[in-house]
Amino acid sequence: MTLSPGAWAKPDRPRRAVGQSQESRAGGGISCTAREQVPRGQLGRRCLRFRFRCRLREAGEMLRARRGRPGAAFLLLAVAARAMAGAPTVSLPELRSLLASGRARLIDVRSREEAAAGTIPGALNIPVSELESALQMEPAAFQAVYSAEKPKRDDENLIFFCQMGKRGLQATQLAQGLGYTGARNYAGAYREWFQKEG
């Protein structure tokens, strides 16, 4: 028995809808239907993009569901409290008192341009980007660069501040990590000082 050359060819397979995800065909998940019919093995770019958007939508719903859990808000608060626990703060009234008695050493960690536009009287400007290297300098090198005495690791009130509070917190945590046990963050920052004292 002889077969013609075309006899070994696979028969044409039926066309199928490809815009529908496996989950929706199984009866669960998000329904993603497409109008176009594409031959098997020839998935077009439009179809692939459609499936990708469906997956993104599913992931977004899962994320929103997780955020809605009762413990999620508590976890966020716990993380924030832990971050603040390692950075003691100083209030504006306390800062006024410390400055009046000469018991505070202020460091402005904003950029030089920000500090030139206005700062708390008596503050030394060390941008947060160079703070780590500055606090590790020899006292003589620090004096030469910043024209001021280098803070001591046992200074009781080494107070950092910035414009809004974020860089001040970062600087305080960095200083504490380098052994400056009296490092504190003026959380109200220069914005509060300018509003109430400027």
CA angle centred on 55, ends 52 and 59, rounded to 5°: 140
Which is catalytic among the residues 32, 47, 54, 162? Answer: 162
191 and 137 within one domain: yes
Give, for all 198 residues of the chain, the pLDDT tens digit: 555 555 455 555 555 544 444 444 444 444 444 444 545 444 444 554 555 555 556 655 554 555 555 444 443 444 344 444 557 999 999 999 999 999 999 999 999 999 999 999 999 999 999 999 999 999 999 999 999 999 999 999 999 999 999 999 999 999 999 999 999 999 999 999 999 886
Q: Is residue 92 part of a domain?
A: yes
120 and 44 within one domain: no
192 and 105 within one domain: yes
128 and 93 within one domain: yes
Quote the tokens at residue 28. Answer: 């669960």
Contacts for 128 with CB less than 8 Å, ≥ 6 apart: 109, 110, 162, 167, 170, 171, 174
| 47 part of the active site | no
Range of the domain at 145: 87-197
